[in-house]
Structure 1
Amino acid sequence: MNEEAARWINRYLDAYLIVTRRINAQIRDSIAAGLTNDQYLILRLINGQELCTSTYLAESFAVGKSSITAIINRLSEAGFIERTRDESDRRQVYLSMTELGRSTYEAAEKQVMEVVSPYFSHFDEKDIEKFIMMFERLGHLMQEPGGSKN
């Protein structure tokens, strides 16, 4: 790796740490109903999937299923999500939000938007779009083996 690439990586890591730590802290402090950031993100993923499974959540979070199961159990015990077995394959379990889960998620989503949106006011729309597109591209590359598209 050349020096320039090392500088870019270090700058990225420095900015990433500042942004994620501060945004996560602000989100944690603003989310109602005692949700953790991970619980909010789990609800967000469940909300975006018609048939959500714990396997999908574990892959999305890049963690083991046991870690996801612990969070799912807490969300279920709190009445935010429910499990439904597939009628044709009883081993398959789908996760969905209850009404309480949906209202809690929607309130948390609104609070997250209120925390994050003021930062975007410091940038032009085209810069925001370019940043988001590049960040999404980085995310897609990170999902590919070896970090490159074939």
Structure 2
Amino acid sequence: MMSSQQNRTDESLIALRRILRATEIYARDLAQAAGMTPAQLRVLQIVDEKNSTTPKALSDQMRVSQATVTALVDKLVTRKLVERESSKLDRRQINVVMTDLGRKTLAQAPDPLQQRYTRAFAKLADWEQAQLVSSLERVASMLDAINIDASTVLTTGELPVDPKFD
């Protein structure tokens, strides 16, 4: 017979695995429907919301390195979903702007997993939100994952390549 502690450990691991599977399934569905990753979709959403933004602002909002944003934007530029333009106010500054194809692709993309989470999280009582954040931060700490570069995009897959080691 299993102890209650072993049961809780197993239940927590099952819950973690379900979360990981949900992100994997969403990423696969997004790749099939729109041909992009959740992080690329998030870049499109931010650029669309702001009409024009800088790579630095994208990096800050997504909470990832500028190297990661550069790689994401490069892929979107290659697919003609966004363009880089020199700022009209400061020619040294580069802005990322949406193309018509980018808008069309964004409109056809499935509902992002993090938006579903955000809507459900917003419905929780304040104390429940605080408890959940605390518990998730504790899990990240238990997995030595506190300092891993992560954004608000729920995704799995390859880690971005650090240009220093490329």
1:129 aligns with 2:111: no
How far apart are the structure 1 equivalents of 2:55 and 2:16?
Answer: 27
Question: Is 2:82–2:102's contact at 8 Å kept on the other side of the alignment?
Answer: yes
How far apart are the structure 2 equivalents of 1:14 and 1:128?
Answer: 24
TM-score (norm 1): 0.61
Structure 2 unaligned residues grouped into runs of 5+: 1-11, 138-166
Q: After superposition, where does 1:31-50 map in structure 2 within 5 Å?
A: 31=30, 32-50=33-51
Q: Secondary structure at the match of 1:112?
A: coil
Q: After superposition, where does 1:98-113 map in structure 2 within 5 Å?
A: 98-108=99-109, 111-112=110-111
| Percentage of matched positions with identical amino acids | 25
How far apart are the structure 2 equivalents of 1:91 and 1:14?
Answer: 50
Q: Which residue of 2 aligns with 1:84?
A: 85
How far apart are the structure 1 equivalents of 2:96 and 2:44?
Answer: 10
TM-score (norm 2): 0.56
CA RMSD between the two structures: 3.6
How far apart are the structure 1 equivalents of 2:52 and 2:71?
Answer: 20
- Point out the structure with the larger helix share: 1
Report the number of matched residues: 118
- Aligned-pair CA distance for 1:64: 1.6
Change (3 A) 1:87 1:37: same
Question: Is 2:52–2:98's contact at 8 Å kept on the other side of the alignment?
Answer: no
How far apart are the structure 2 equivalents of 1:113 and 1:90?
Answer: 34
Change (3 A) 1:113 1:88: closer
Q: Which one has more relative contact order, counting CA pairs under 8 Å at least 6 apart? A: 2
Change (3 A) 1:113 1:90: closer
Change (3 A) 1:131 1:53: farther
Q: Deviations over 1:36-77 (max 9, x none)?
A: 111111111212223311111111222221111011011001
Structure 1 unaligned residues grouped into runs of 5+: 1-10, 120-124, 143-150
